[in-house]
Amino acid sequence: MTALTNEVLQQLKDAVGPNGYLEGDADTEAYAVDARELYHGKTALVLRPATTEEVSTVVKICAAAGIALTPQGGNTGYCGGATPDETGNQIVLSLARMNNIRHVDALNYTITAEAGCILTAIQDAAEEADRLFPLSLGAEGSCQIGGNLSTNAGGVAVLRYGNTRDLVLGLEVVLPDGTIWDGLRRLRKDNTGYDLKQLFLGAEGTLGIVTAVVLKLFPRPQEVVTSFVALPTARAALELLSRMRSATSDGVTSFEYVHRACIDLVLAQIDGASDPFDEAYDHYALIECSAGSQESGLVAAVEDALGAAFEADEVANAVIASSGQQSAALWKLRETIPEAQKLAGAGLKHDISVPLTNVPAFLEQATDIAEAMIPDVNVIPSGHMGDGNIHFNLSRPPETDGAEMMAKAHDLEVAVHDLAVDLDGSFSAEHGIGKLKRGELARYKSDVEFDLMRKIKAALDPNDTMNPGKVL
pLDDT tens digits for range 96-125? 999 999 999 999 999 999 999 999 999 999
Confidence of residue 44 (pLDDT cuts 50, 70, 90): very high
* pLDDT category of residue 346 using cuts at 50, 70 and 90: confident
Amino acid at 283: H
Closest CA to 70 of 60, 56, 59: 59
pLDDT level of residue 149 (50, 70, 90 thresholds): very high
- Whether residue 66 contacts residue 461, with contact meaning beta carbons closer than 8 Å, is answered with no
CA atoms lying within 13 Å on the CB side of residue 309: 30
- The whole-number average pLDDT for the span 79-94 is 96
3 has pLDDT over 90: no
Q: At what angle do helices 324-335 and 260-269 cross, to 10 degrees?
A: 100
Give the H/E segment covering residue 151.
helix 145-151
Architecture of domain 101-219 in CATH?
2-Layer Sandwich (3.30)
Q: Where in the chain is the domain with CATH 3.30.465.10?
A: 101-219
- Residue 371 confidence (pLDDT) above 90: yes
For the chain, residues classed under CATH 3.30.70.2740 are: 345-431
Max CA separation in the chain (angstroms): 75
Q: Is the pLDDT of residue 1 over 70?
A: no
Q: What is the CATH number of domain 223-337?
A: 3.30.70.2190
Residues 332-348 have a mean pLDDT of 90
CB-CB contact of 176 with 158 (8 Å): no
* Rounded Cα–Cα distance for residues 236 and 313 (Å): 8
Confidence (pLDDT) at 404? 87
d(CA 201, CA 113): 15
DSSP state of 42: -
Tell me how far apart the alpha carbons of residues 156 and 226 are, in angstroms, rounded to a whole number.
Answer: 13
Q: What is the pLDDT of residue 181?
A: 98
CB atoms within 10 A of CB 244: 24
**CATH number corresponding to 345-431:** 3.30.70.2740
Task: Give the strands of the sheet with 209-216, arranged side by side.
Answer: 101-105, 110-114, 209-216, 168-174, 180-183
**Section 70-86 average pLDDT:** 96
Return the bridge partners of 112, or none: 103, 214
pTM (two decimals): 0.94
State residue 466 phi and psi, 5-degree precision.
-95, 100
Cβ partners under 8 Å of residue 323, min gap 6: none
pLDDT class of 400 with cuts at 50, 70, 90 = confident
Burial of 456 per CB tally in 10 Å (0-12, 13-18, 19+): middle
What pairs with residue 452 in β-bridges?
none
CB atoms within 10 A of CB 86: 12
| Rg, Å, the chain Cα set | 23
Q: Specify the 3-state DSSP secondary structure of 378.
A: strand
Question: Mean pLDDT in the chain?
Answer: 95
Task: Say what percent of the chain tops pLDDT 70.
Answer: 100
Tell which wins on pLDDT, 204 or 375: 204
Could you count the other beta carbons within 10 Å of the beta carbon of residue 189? Answer: 5
**Least trusted range by pLDDT, from 209-218, 229-238, 395-404:** 395-404
Across 40-47, average pLDDT: 97
Distance separating alpha carbons of residues 295 and 301, to the nearest angstrom: 12
Q: CA–CA separation, 435 vs 468, rounded Å? A: 10
